Amino acid sequence: MTDRVVKRSIPSRETSDGAGVRIRRSIGQQPTIRLDPFLMLDEFGSEDAADYIAGFPSHPHRGFETVTYMIDGHMLHEDHMGNRGDLRNGGVQWMTAGRGIIHSEMPQQESGAMRGFQLWLNLPAAEKMTPARYRDIQPGDIPVVSFDGGRARLIAGVLTLAGEAHSGAVTGGTTEPLYADVQLDPGGAVTLPVPSRLDAMVYLYEGTASLGDSALERQAASILDDGNQVSVRAGQEGARLLLLAGRPINEPVVQYGPFVMNTRDEIEQTLRDYRDGVLAAEQPQAS
């Protein structure tokens, strides 16, 4: 087994999105700062309602998936398909935009903490025009894998510990996403297998931790080198971090705001579809 080490650290930068929601963006802050198949990772967190109350009014997407993980707070998802999902503490919303979706994400609280992450996961060309899908994952449906020194909430993928395979709330998919929220006790340590075919990163968002001989930078996407396992140890205050991995797609990425395709012509067609009101229409059946 070969430990993965930190190849590059991408500090998150403060910015805003939606109608003025304050966020910190690491992956995706520039078109060249990505980790195939991940397009963007945003962290949001504030106890000041002014930082989040305006939310994300109705807007479109095409060509990728969004995964929203709510650690604290309450947000409502609504889309053109009639889906309505309450995202609360510990819950996840997994949305596949595919051919096109128009949705909103609006806070359902006027005070208190709102904290979580949104991840954008690319789709291969063959799946970019599939019908849109939406899944509301309740906190109790996310498996918790316990180990000596901590625990992990397994949102997606499979983790094998002590010879036992644990499946997350979401499994499969072309990119084989692995998404775990790992919590380590003070001084706790764990080695998690991550197949060498997957690109991987970790994002430390609470406490202190090290990966091998390298201290992890807080609120930064730590891109990992090749290997087949991740060994992390918490400092004396404990730690919480995201472990993210996925199979690279290795295709061109052309992004225009909320649209992610493979060519400029496809982006131009997407803009026409949105302007003409057919972006989210059902794809015509072949005759």
Helix (H, G, I), strand (E, B) or coil at 275: helix
Q: If you compute the radius of gyration of the chain from its CA atoms, what whole number of angstroms results?
A: 19
The answer to whether 74 is annotated as binding is no
The answer to whether 77 is annotated as binding is no
Q: Say which residue the tokens 């180990």 belong to.
A: 147
The answer to whether 80 is annotated as binding is no
CB 60 within 8 A of CB 259: yes
The answer to whether 105 is annotated as binding is yes
Measured torsion, CA atoms of residues 43, 47, 48, 49, in degrees rounded to the nearest 10: 80
CB 114 within 8 A of CB 107: yes
146-181 burial string, b = 16+ CB within 10 Å, else e? ebebbbbbbbbbebebeeeebebbbeebebbbbbbb
Helix (H, G, I), strand (E, B) or coil at 202: strand
From residue 245, alpha-carbon distances to 7, 46, 76, 176 in Å are: 15, 27, 27, 8
From residue 158, alpha-carbon distances to 179, 195, 228, 275 in Å are: 9, 10, 14, 41
- Residues making up the annotated binding site are 59, 61, 103, 105
- Residues making up the annotated binding site for Fe cation are 59, 61, 103, 105
